[in-house]
Structure 1
Amino acid sequence: MAKPGDQRPPEDSFGAHLARLRIAAGLSLRDVEEATDHEVSNAYLSQLEKSKITKPSPHILYALAPVLKTSYEDLMKRAGYITSDQDGRGRKQTKVAAFAVQDLTPEEERSLLDYLAMIRKQKRK
Structure 2
Amino acid sequence: MANYGEYFKALREAKGLTLREVERATQVSNAYLSQLESGKIKQPSPINLHKLAQLYEVRYEVLMERVGYPIPQSEDHSDLKKENPLLTKFGRITDEEEKELLGYLKFIRNRKK
Quickly name the TM-score band, shorter chain normalised: 0.5 to 0.7
Residues 85 and 34 of structure 1: CA distance in aligned 2, closer, same or farther (over 3 Å): closer
Matched residue SS, 1:74: helix
Partner residue of 1:14? Answer: 4
Match of 1:80 among 64, 68, 80: 68
The structure with higher relative contact order (CA 8 Å, sep 6+) is: 2
Q: What's the TM-score, normalizing by structure 2?
A: 0.59
Q: Distance in 1 between matches of 2:9 and 2:44?
A: 14
Query: Compared with structure 1, are the counterparts of its residues 85 and 69 closer, same or farther at alpha carbon in structure 2 (3 Å cutoff)?
Result: closer
1:55 corresponding residue in structure 2: 43
Equivalent-residue separation in structure 2 for 1:41 and 1:30 (angstroms): 8
**TM-score, normalised with respect to structure 1:** 0.54
Q: Which amino acid aligns with 2:65?
A: K
Identity %: 49
Q: Give the structure 1 partner of residue 31 of structure 2.
A: 43
Which structure has the highest strand share of the two? 1
> In the alignment, is the contact (CA less than 8 A) between 2:9 and 2:37 conserved in 1?
yes
- Structure of larger gyration radius: 1
Write the distance in 1 (CA, Å) between the matches of 2:42 and 2:16: 23
Distance 2:55 2:9 in 1: 12
Q: Is there any run of 5+ residues in structure 2 with no aligned partner, and where?
A: 77-113
Corresponding residue for residue 119 of structure 1:
none
Contact 1:14/1:54 (<8 A) preserved: no
Residue in structure 2 matched with residue 27 of structure 1 by the alignment: 17
Deviation of the 1:79 alpha carbon: 1.2
Aligned residue number for residue 121 of structure 1: none
In the other structure, the counterpart of 2:108 is none
Query: Of Structure 1 and Structure 2, which has the larger fraction of its residues in helix?
Result: 2
Asked if the contact 2:61/2:71 (under 8 Å) is kept, the reply is: no
